[in-house]
Chains A and B, each alone.
Chain A
Amino acid sequence: MLEGMKKAVSMAIAMFMVMTTVAVPVFAAQGDSTMLRSKEVNTDELKVGDLVGEGIRGVNDTCDFSALKVRTTAPGDGKTQWVGIKFNPQCRAVINAKWHGSLEEGPRDIIEPILKTMPNMTPQVTQELPFVRTDGVPTLSATAGTKTSEQRVYTYGYGTPWFDVLTEQKGKITFSYDGTNARQSDIWWTSCWGADHSSLGWKWVVDSCSITSLNTGPSSVVWQTGRGNYHCDPAGNFPCNLSDPDGYYHSLYTDEDGHADGTSHCTYWYSGNIVLGPGREVLQGCS
């Protein structure tokens, strides 16, 4: 471990490029005090384009980030390892460059704005700390933030999922996370819909639509499960009587969960008689 500590002279360098339309409070790599929990990101295992943190949209269109502690291992031979992090308008911090050597050796389009805004910037050297892992996977997304996951589950007729949707259910959760806990905001809902052809003689009726299971946290995982019950009415008439038993009685279920590390999973299933499906469309999040 000592050898590892000696070997690993880490240079925490965060270079921030602020998009012109978004005012982003920037916190130095050493973990300045902020209102949110500090998290460490090991950029050795990240590549250009990877997400290192996600902020919370604040008032006046600002993005509030937790302290972003960036750690990277120096390549040796007195060289410096550089990591460029860009904040985009979606309040996400993404690695946009990695190189070693001098600052001037970096991509021109990246270093010029930095030299202009921070001409006296010098890298700060820190000692390497054990990297936090969960199940062998770096906890790269374990910064604080909020996330919304939304999905749509539906059944359809022979006219394809694109043109012939018969019944549908949507589920959505918005949750905040800080690496230890997740909690649902007060925006959670599920909605149900059925194609109404009552003027032609039948319709797909929503018998009930509800959230059957809900955990708003704070806890390591929050979730909601929604259920919609449907049938084709009148059950005994054509085409509703083509199922056995009549009426195509069925239920659609959507489940969205949010974890303390900011990940989210969406699942779905059904029971009963359906024509075709179910199909699912992720509207946002669910990853």
Chain B
Amino acid sequence: MFIEHKATILKVATAVAVVLAAAVALIGIFIVFIDTPTPHALLATSAAAIIIAGLLMGKLRIAWYGLAFLFAYSVLFLFSAGAALLRLDFILLILLIIIQLTKSKH
């Protein structure tokens, strides 16, 4: 059954991950320009952009690098902006694991 639906799972997980990463990128921009001015939130936007690029190009390794970068940012700036992103980071982590497993069994 898993094998039958793996293509669908891969597509859905990838789509959700891209949307989530886009949300992270927008939150980063929001923090920089609307919340307390914290230019470093552009790092979160950059990390999200790397994840999106990796997913769209089908190069999962790049997406993993982007997620690692995003986690690092979220923990480092936990008390100023990172905490808001941390939940999304974990969802992205689960989605990337799903995508990775689906791809590897392809």
**Chain A contacts of B34 at CB under 8 A?**
199
Q: Are A164 and B36 CB-contacts (below 8 A) given A200-B31, A201-B84, A202-B83?
A: no
Chain A: interface secondary structure? Answer: loop
Which listed residue (B30, B36, B80, B84) contacts A157, Cβ 8 A?
Answer: B80
Q: How many residues of B contact A (CB 8 A)?
A: 17
Query: Which residues from B are CB-within-8-Å of A196?
Result: 35-36
**Chain A residue nearest in CB terms to B31:** A200
Q: Are B35 and A239 in contact (CB under 8 A)?
A: no
CB of A159 closer than 8 Å to a CB of B? yes
Point out the residues of chain A lying under 8 angstroms from B77, CB to CB.
157-159, 163-164
B7 CB–A CB distance under 8 Å: no
- Chain B residues with CB under 8 A of A275: 79
In the complex, how many angstroms separate the beta carbon of A279 from the nearest chain B beta carbon?
15
Q: How far is the CB of A275 from chain B (nearest CB, A)?
A: 5
What number of A residues sit within 8 Å (CB to CB) of B? 17
Provide the bound-state CA to CA distance between A275 and B83, in Å.
14
CA distance A159 to B38 in the complex (A): 11
CB neighbours of A239 from chain B (8 A):
78-79, 83
Question: Once the chains are docked, how many angstroms separate the CA of A164 from the CA of B83?
Answer: 13
Closest chain-A Cβ to B43's Cβ sits at a distance in Å of 10
Q: Please give the residue numbers on chain B whose beta carbons come within 8 Å of chain A beta carbons, in ascending order.
A: 30-31, 34-36, 38, 40, 75-84
What are 11 A-to-B residue pairs whose CB atoms are below 8 Å?
A158-B77, A159-B76, A164-B76, A164-B79, A166-B79, A166-B80, A199-B34, A200-B35, A200-B81, A232-B79, A239-B78
The interface of chain A, by Cβ under 8 A from chain B, is 157-159, 163-164, 166, 195-197, 199-202, 232, 238-239, 275
Q: 4 other contacts beyond A159-B82, A163-B40, A166-B80, with CB at 8 A cut-off? A: A197-B36, A197-B81, A239-B83, A275-B79
